Amino acid sequence: MTALSIRPIALDEIEAARHRIAATTIRTPLVKLQLGAGFPDVRLKLENLQPINAYKLRGAANAVALLSDADRAKGVWTISAGNAGQGVAYAARAAGVPCTVVVIGSAPQAKLDRMKALGARLVPVSYDVAWKALEDRAYPGVEGTFVHPFDDHDFIAGHGSIGLEILEDEPNTKAVICGIGGGGLLAGVASAVKAKAPQVKMFGVEPETAAPAAQAHRTGAPGPYKDWQPSFVDGAGGQSMFPRMWDRIRPITDDFFVVSLDETRAAMKVLAEKARVIAEGAGALSVAAAIKGLAGDGPVVAVVSGGNIDLKKFCELVS
């Protein structure tokens, strides 16, 4: 399957996506994180409250809704470490079409169970095999219409609806921070924010163990992240930055941050203690960067991208 040429996500496409997905997704709240004196003004965009507990439902619902009847009839499939698979499975079930997920074998059991519960057929593969399938947009033995989990124009436009909601709920926003996995969240939110309020700073953040976007920003080109290590931040970072996604996010992102695993764990604990929010590692990256003051005094919006984490694992990490 050949990928279409990339182009900017237009504001009218994001606004249309917002209306298209309204019956499937929820408008998540934007709440202030009560940190006390001496800390930045941090607001939380709680995408962990979506029906699948992750933002990916926005993009998946838009992408599936825009498929032709013929493409839906073939069934849909995607590649995922968990959240994108849940999003596509949820949207496919709502549309009455079968779904297959080529899933990275190291995905947390909680995410595997959720995908199965949504009716998805799972095909476990290694990280390297999954990455090649993402580039090829094909996998042997899996048929149907492919929905790319991040490098898909309609998927990204769905995520852009987050940016519209942020600016409506806090017009004085000075900066927005998004975690980076494939880059679709940042691409969507930044497309909306820069179109509506170009003065607002857009930042991406990755864990120290997997920071290919920050590396690409530093060197000027995407490439393998040789110091990659697996961690509990399974929904963000990667062994390399998809070149097409780098081309999407580079023009609309002001800077890229890297936070440590300890800072990420601390942010997960702060979210639980101060806001009673359960965030997975990837969902807490933005909060870690915001609390550290990397994006300024605020108001800074930290997109809490997801909360799909086994409770036992969560307790181990924050205790």
Closest by CA position to 9, among listed 115, 159, 229: 159
Are 156 and 9 in contact by the 8 Å Cβ rule? The answer is yes
Q: What is the pLDDT of residue 209?
A: 95
Q: What is the pLDDT of residue 187?
A: 98
Concatenate the DSSP letters of all residues of 247-296 into one string: HHHGGG--EEEEE-HHHHHHHHHHHHHHH-----HHHHHHHHHHHTTTT-
CATH 3.40.50.1100 for domain 11-54+153-318, yes or no, is: yes
* Token pair 């929904």 in the structure block, residue: 235
Q: What is the pLDDT of residue 295?
A: 98
Q: What is the pLDDT of residue 203?
A: 98
Query: Which tokens go with 172?
Result: 């004085």
Are 232 and 313 in contact by the 8 Å Cβ rule? The answer is yes
The pLDDT of 284-297, averaged and rounded, is: 97
Percent of the chain at pLDDT exceeding 70? 99
Q: For 75-133, how does the pLDDT look when each residue is reduced to its tens digit (9 = 90+)?
A: 999 998 878 899 999 999 988 999 999 998 778 888 889 899 999 999 999 988 988 89
For the domain made up of 57-146, the CATH class stated in words is alpha beta
The pLDDT of 210-228, averaged and rounded, is: 94
Contact partners, residue 108, CB within 8 Å, separation at least 6: 82, 234, 308, 309, 310, 313
Q: What is the pLDDT of residue 1?
A: 64
Residues of the chain with CATH 3.40.50.1100: 11-54+153-318, 57-146
Does residue 2 carry a pLDDT above 80? Answer: no
**What is the CB-side half-sphere exposure of residue 26 using CA atoms within 13 A?**
13
Which of the four pLDDT bands, split at 50, 70 and 90, describes residue 288?
Answer: very high
Q: For 243-262, how does the pLDDT look when each residue is reduced to its tens digit (9 = 90+)?
A: 999 999 999 999 999 999 99
The pLDDT of 274-299, averaged and rounded, is: 97
